[in-house]
């Protein structure tokens, strides 16, 4: 992938126990998205290499991860593995908590499926993948992680934009 040097590239990754969803942004444009199965407990060295290759392929300036508290051991292990790979590759890692994500989507969204619909509305290429709310006996659709990653990336971009505006206002006073 060719990249315009003046545009900031952000890779948002939503980590689940054995899979990740990702969304790649340049400024506010969604460039790529998808999901990958990752099982570090089976062959740790091979998975470390796969994560390194994944980060090298997308070469983000910033890697955005959700702050993990009270989550499964697998999810924490995988998040730590991804953050360590980013550190080895000198990629800045930023964490966004659930509160920041909810604040970014607070006006119109009550759950992850309504947030996914908003993401699909913002990025029409994702609309065909938009998951429908599940029934209580159904497992979560695999592609939900893509929408959670996109929401994570948008929350980061909005937070950065908000802090840049407040810095500009402070500087002008």
In three state form, how does the secondary structure of 5-35 look? Answer: CCCCEEEEEEECCCEEEEEEEECCEEEEEEE
Q: Taking the domains of the chain in order of start, what are their residue ranges? A: 9-167
Render pLDDT for 37-48 as a digit per residue (tens, 0 to 9): 877 666 567 888
Q: What is the pLDDT of residue 75?
A: 82
Q: With a cut of 70, which residues of the chain have pLDDT below it? A: 1-7, 40-44, 70-71, 105-110, 162-173
Q: What fold does the segment set 9-167 form as a domain?
A: Nucleotidyltransferase; domain 5 (3.30.420)
**Distance in angstroms (rounded) separating the CA atoms of residues 47 and 81:** 9
């Amino acid at each position: 992938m060719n990249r315009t040097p003046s545009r900031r590239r952000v890779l948002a990754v939503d980590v689940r126990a054995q899979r990740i969803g990702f969304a790649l942004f340049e400024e506010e444009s969604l460039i790529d998205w998808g999901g990958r199965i990752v099982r570090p407990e089976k062959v740790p060295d091979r998975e470390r290499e796969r994560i390194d290759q994944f980060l090298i392929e997308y070469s983000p300036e910033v890697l955005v991860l959700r702050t993990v508290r009270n989550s499964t051991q697998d999810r924490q292990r995988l998040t730590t593995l991804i953050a360590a790979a980013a550190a080895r590759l000198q990629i800045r890692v930023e964490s966004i908590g659930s509160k920041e994500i909810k604040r970014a989507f607070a006006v119109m969204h009550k759950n992850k499926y309504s947030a996914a619909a908003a993401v699909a509305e913002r990025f029409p290429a994702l609309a065909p993948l938009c998951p429908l709310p599940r029934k209580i006996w159904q497992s979560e659709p695999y592609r939900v992680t893509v929408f959670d990653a996109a929401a994570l990336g948008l929350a980061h971009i909005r937070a950065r934009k908000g802090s840049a505006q407040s810095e500009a206002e402070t500087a002008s006073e």
